[in-house]
Amino acid sequence: MTQDVYLSSGAIENVSAIFDQQNVRSVFVVADRTAYDLSGAKAKLVPALEGRECAFFDAFAPNPKYDDVMRGLHVWRDHPCDMVLAVGGGSAIDMAKLIGICSAHTCESVDLLTGLAPIEHAGPPLIAMPTTAGTGSEATHFAVVYVDGQKYSVAHEFVLPNYAVVDSDLTANLPASITAHTGLDALSQAVESFWSVNATPTSQGFASEALTLVMANLEVAVHNPSPDVRLNMCKAAHLAGKAINISKTTAPHAISYTLTSHFGVPHGLAVALTLGPMLVYNYAVGADDCCHPEGVGPVHKGLHSLLSLFEVEAAQEAHERIEALIVAIGCPTRLGDVGVQTNADIDLLVQNVNTERLQNNPRMLSQDALRALLNNIR
Ligand code: NAD
């Protein structure tokens, strides 16, 4: 499936034209209420929505859960529309993707979301408009959902939004802490995309641009943002999304989901906590524990390119650069600081690591190796 992308300051002004071109008479808005108001999207969308029927769904919390998706599906069934417009961070965009896909199928939604039933139909056309920079969810063909506390990734080409409208002005008032957490997600996606066993020259091209932009802009975006810096972070997030759309994410994401669902750690921070240690771990990959189908050669090549982007020669130095950035933007680097304190807490993380995402990591990660890595940063 193809996607039309509008990425600029003021990109939101293209929404009216999209509606007109597609003869849209009714719009189903899936929005994070806080983001909708504070980003300025609500006010700026008035001309585009005027004269069109509108249904609104905002009854969901960050990180989509099955019950939230079902509530949204009920609202959709009462008010089906010509187009869906998602406004918010990755949570709102994923929510809109999930409602859209469920609405197009007659099977049990829980089967669709947990992979027991195949995705066979596209949902209604979707415009994804991020208000964080970010997840890059507007550029990916998957959506994350928690069913009974378990994380599932709903993946299909039909999940990719038809339009990505990335307006950096919508991130102008983003609080510093959310800028930091979501920026760390873009950083992690760029780094992980580099070493993923599914990496291609194209995905590494997107990832390398994203990484360069994050390293140059994230700290300023948190402490002293300007419109240019906000735009650069939006580009970084979008490019990192395009990168993982090809390569998928790896071990830091696999470990992060329990940090979010059980310990309440914001998604981007949850991922970044193990990013540096995993870089050092992956760098030591050998023929006996390499998961790349073509062996260690391409993995070493990718990791060397990654080090040169960090302008360092050793993996430990890159780890230190990542850690310095995390500290500089006011975030913790130790698991103990986010509530992971006991051996039982570490066991919980080890036992619930997401095996699907772990398969994309270039180096095998046994339970013992993971426990040792986590204990090291407790
Ligand atoms: P989020 O959407 O959960 O939002 C975090 C907080 O930021 C919320 O409280 C929200 O109200 C607030 N917020 C958002 N925009 C704002 C704005 N402009 N001004 C003020 N407050 C604002 O956070 P996120 O990090 O963007 O998304 C995380 C979710 O995205 C996770 O569920 C994660 O699994 C998912 N994700 C999906 C993909 C994908 O490709 N599908 C990729 C990465 C992450």
Average pLDDT over residues 222-235: 98
Q: What is the 3-state secondary structure (H, E, C) of the chain?
A: CCCEEEEECCHHHHHHHHHHHCCCCEEEEEECHHHHHHCCHHHHCHHHHCCCEEEEECCCCCCCEHHHHHHHHHHHHHCCCCEEEEEECHHHHHHHHHHHHHHCCCCCHHHHHCCCCCCCCCCCCEEEEECCCCCCHHHCCEEEEEECCEEEEEECHHHCCCEEEEEHHHHCCCCHHHHHHHHHHHHHHHHHHHHCCCCCHHHHHHHHHHHHHHHHHHHHHHHCCCHHHHHHHHHHHHHHHHHHHHHCCCHHHHHHHHHHHCCCCCHHHHHHCCHHHHHHHHHCCCHHHECCCCCHHHHHHHHHHHHHHCCCCCHHHHHHHHHHHHHHCCCCCCHHHHCCCCHHHHHHHHHCCCHHHHCCCCECCCHHHHHHHHHHCC
Cα 122 to averaged position of ligand 1 atoms, centre (Å): 24
Cα 155 to averaged position of ligand 1 atoms, centre (Å): 18
Looking at the DSSP bridge assignments, the partners of residue 6 are 165
Q: Angle between the 90-103 and 66-78 helix axes, to the nearest 10 degrees?
A: 60
Cα 285 to averaged position of ligand 1 atoms, centre (Å): 33
- Tokens 């310990």 correspond to what residue? 263
Q: Look at residue 317 in the predicted model and tell me its pLDDT.
A: 98
Of 153, 182, 18, the C-alpha closest to 94 is 153
Buried b (16+ CB within 10 A) or exposed e, 212-222: bbbbebbbbbb
| Residue closest by Cα to atom 21 of ligand 1 | 35
Among the residue ranges 47-51, 145-149, 206-210, 332-336, the one predicted with the least confidence is 145-149
Determine the distance from the C-alpha atom of residue 40 to the mean position of all C-alpha atoms in its chain, rounded to a whole number: 22
With bands split at pLDDT 50, 70 and 90, how would you rate the model's confidence at 351? very high
Please choose from 30, 38, 137 the residue to mutate so as to test ligand 1's pocket, defined by most ligand atoms within 8 A of CB. 137
Angle (nearest 5°) at CA 4 between 202 and 6 = 95
With bands split at pLDDT 50, 70 and 90, how would you rate the model's confidence at 57? very high
Is the CB of residue 183 below 6 angstroms from any atom belonging to ligand 1? Answer: no
Please choose from 60, 93, 94 the residue to mutate so as to test ligand 1's pocket, defined by most ligand atoms within 8 A of CB. 94
Of 92, 147, 98, the C-alpha closest to 123 is 98
Domain residue ranges in the chain: 4-170, 175-376
With bands split at pLDDT 50, 70 and 90, how would you rate the model's confidence at 213? very high
Tokens of 130: 């991020």
Cα 217 to averaged position of ligand 1 atoms, centre (Å): 19
Q: Look at residue 149 in the predicted model and tell me its pLDDT.
A: 87
Q: Report the CATH number of the 175-376 domain.
A: 1.20.1090.10
Q: Report the CATH number of the 4-170 domain.
A: 3.40.50.1970
- Does the pLDDT value for residue 1 go beyond 80? no
Give me the chain's average pLDDT, please.
97
CA 274/CA 253 separation, integer angstroms = 9
Average pLDDT over residues 276-285: 98
Which ligand 1 atom is nearest residue 257's CA?
Answer: 34
Q: Look at residue 20 in the predicted model and tell me its pLDDT.
A: 98
Cα 22 to averaged position of ligand 1 atoms, centre (Å): 28
Tokens of 246: 């090809």
Which ligand 1 atom is nearest residue 172's CA?
Answer: 18
- Tokens 């609500």 correspond to what residue? 42
Q: Look at residue 145 in the predicted model and tell me its pLDDT.
A: 96
Strand 26-31 and strand 83-88: the pairing is parallel
Tokens of 168: 């950096």
Tokens of 350: 């080890």
Average pLDDT over residues 34-41: 98
Specify burial of residue 351 (Cβ count, 10 A radius: 0-12, 13-18, 19+): exposed
Q: Which tens digits make up the pLDDT trace of 305-336?
A: 999 999 999 999 999 999 999 999 999 999 99
